[in-house]
Structure 1
Amino acid sequence: MTSDTTGTTGTTGTHGAILADSAPDDGDRPLVELRSIGKSYGNIRALHGVDLAVHPGNVTCVLGDNGAGKSTLIKIISGLHQHTEGDFLVDGAPVRFGTPREALDRGIATVYQDLATVPLMPVWRNFFLGSEMTRGVWPLRRLDVARMKETADAELRNMGIVLDNLEQPIGTLSGGQRQSVAISRAVYFGARVLILDEPTAALGVKQSGVVLKYIAAARDRGLGVIFITHNPHHAYMVGDHFSVLRLGTLELSAPRSEIGLEELTNHMAGGAELAALKHELGQVSGVDVEELPEEEELQPGAS
């Protein structure tokens, strides 16, 4: 009965247990590392030869157009799908997750675009959704509402998120605020690696800025952040390393010190493809392509 009581009153223990069970950081060793990772679905090769390293206190931005392989990469790291090529290492040890729960137990949390929240439930209930704190023993066990509210408020404030009323339905918050709550929840429950799936895709400029601020806050707390996006401007605001996927392969992998925003945008847009498009448009009457850049201007490293 003692162990049962400990488990029911120790949801915060989940947070501590994950961190305690995780291997200590060893110098410059990545928290998560992918080596020549690939994924095939039957005869379809969705991902091939992708290298990625996620270090503590760094934001790794993964960019790519629709169909580039970003979703497949997320599913492998989060434990939803297993890789079919290459090596997947966590704390330097090879892993092959069978479920997202196994990834979460190793401190890898994913915040998807839908945020996995219940719009009509209060903020504090959504913060603990599926991992509610309880008190007492069966059959008199009940939710520890006061402690959940207190904890949720404290953790949100630790991330710089101040809400006047935790009782308000989370659906009444702005998109940026909901993303921020989801990020704070993942941090509280022991995330060391935080995967953010297009968190600014459906947000306006102001709300995108709110989310980017909390991405930087998560990095400053020592988390390794994987920021999936198709927006190079958002990526460059917070990113420390940039990886660009194209048709399932890694086209670019560079630290911030080696690449500028313009070059990153050209990689994202596909310089060669734009040059070919300019040539094709030049054959169409009534289309002025004189102001479009030449092919050599679109190539990486062009001055």
Structure 2
Amino acid sequence: MTTYVSVEGIARRYGPTTIFEDVWFGVARGEFVCLVGHSGCGKTTILNILAGLETPDEGAVIVDGTEISGPSLDRAVIFQGHALMPWMTAAGNVAFALSCRHRDWSRGKCDAAAREALRRVGLTHAADRKPAELSGGMKQRVGIARALALNPKMLLMDEPFSALDALTRGSLQDEVARLVTETQQTAFMITHDVDEAILLADRILLMSNGPGARIAEVVVNTLPKPRTRATLHHMPGYHALRDHVLDFLITRSKAFDAKAPPPGWSPRGVPEVTPAVAEPPPLAAE
């Protein structure tokens, strides 16, 4: 796959405190990458830098051959909150974003495209409702529809399902997995949910604890697609992958030291790991 995003040695410092530094990684075109780590390691700041909402203290982010200098509609963001305008309907929120993207489109064309985007996330019936009339999950669906309607080159997600109940979260995770696969979207997501990362990601970036956080390890997700929440835990290799990520979060993230790193580690060449897949037990003889 062709590299679309290249994060090159970025750092963020607040006074004498270094939140993260010397962070290097790439995202290939059409790839889904999840960033996982404990609170305080700078995950949201990294996403904001990718979105052009913040500037790193060191390093640069190159997107499609050009250094990021600010926000762009080519990089759509789905936040933890729905970020909808309360005086507009669901269709109106999506249509407004489309009118910013396509200045030459008529109001009718924007409205038709907005309703089609809402149909794709199962909200045809709610197109004319305002956010106050929608559930939390429905609001997030509108946010997803708005982001994908822009046909961005990259989708950035900051724990977009963290405030939802378990059933709604699972449903939206499956929805995002389907839509991103259908559109071959390049995506970058921050999450604390290990199963969410395994469900969605092609690669999982594991960050050490802050301050002074780094990308400590890159885990390659070899579980075949399509994946769904209902069948994920039955897939061969799921438990080995999940145990590996959890072991990092519980133990190795605290022990990682960039001044005395494990063999083979360097910030520009973080080792990629494919957790061993245990062979299924033999069938019992009849």
Instruction: Identify the TM-score tier after normalising by the shorter chain.
Output: 0.7 to 0.9
1:115 alignment counterpart: 82
2:13 alignment counterpart: 40
SS in 2 for 1:267: helix
Q: Which has the larger radius of gyration?
A: 1
Change over 3 Å in CA distance of 1:237–1:33 after alignment to 2: same
**TM-score, normalization by structure 1:** 0.69
1:206 alignment counterpart: 167
What are structure 1's unaligned runs of at least 5 residues?
A: 1-27, 138-142, 275-299
Match of 1:154 among 116, 120, 136: 116
Distance 1:253 1:210 in 2: 27
CA deviation vs aligned residue, 1:175-196 (integer Å, no higher than 9, x gap): 2222222122112213111111
SS in 2 for 1:195: strand
- Give the aligned residue type for 1:72: T
Distance 1:272 1:160 in 2: 36
**Cα drift, residue 273 of structure 1:** 5.3
Distance 1:204 1:60 in 2: 24
**Cα drift, residue 272 of structure 1:** 7.1
Match of 1:254 among 219, 225, 229: 219
Match of 1:167 among 114, 117, 128: 128
What are structure 2's unaligned runs of at least 5 residues?
A: 223-236, 256-274, 279-286
**Cα drift, residue 130 of structure 1:** 5.4
Native 8 Å contact 1:149 1:166 kept in 2: no
**Cα drift, residue 243 of structure 1:** 0.6
- Report the aligned-residue RMSD: 2.7
Distance 1:58 1:112 in 2: 20
2:194 paired with 1:232: yes
**TM-score, normalization by structure 2:** 0.73
Native 8 Å contact 2:123 2:138 kept in 1: no
CA deviation vs aligned residue, 1:116-161 (integer Å, no higher than 9, x gap): 212342111111335548xxx9xxxxx83x444322111222x342
Counting matched residue pairs gives: 234
1:176 alignment counterpart: 137
1:86 alignment counterpart: 59
Match of 1:268 among 242, 245, 249: 249
Change over 3 Å in CA distance of 1:191–1:272 after alignment to 2: closer
Indicate the percent of aligned positions where both proteins have the same amino acid.
Answer: 23
Distance 1:109 1:150 in 2: 20
Distance 1:94 1:270 in 2: 38
Distance 1:95 1:198 in 2: 25
Native 8 Å contact 1:126 1:170 kept in 2: no
Native 8 Å contact 1:37 1:48 kept in 2: yes
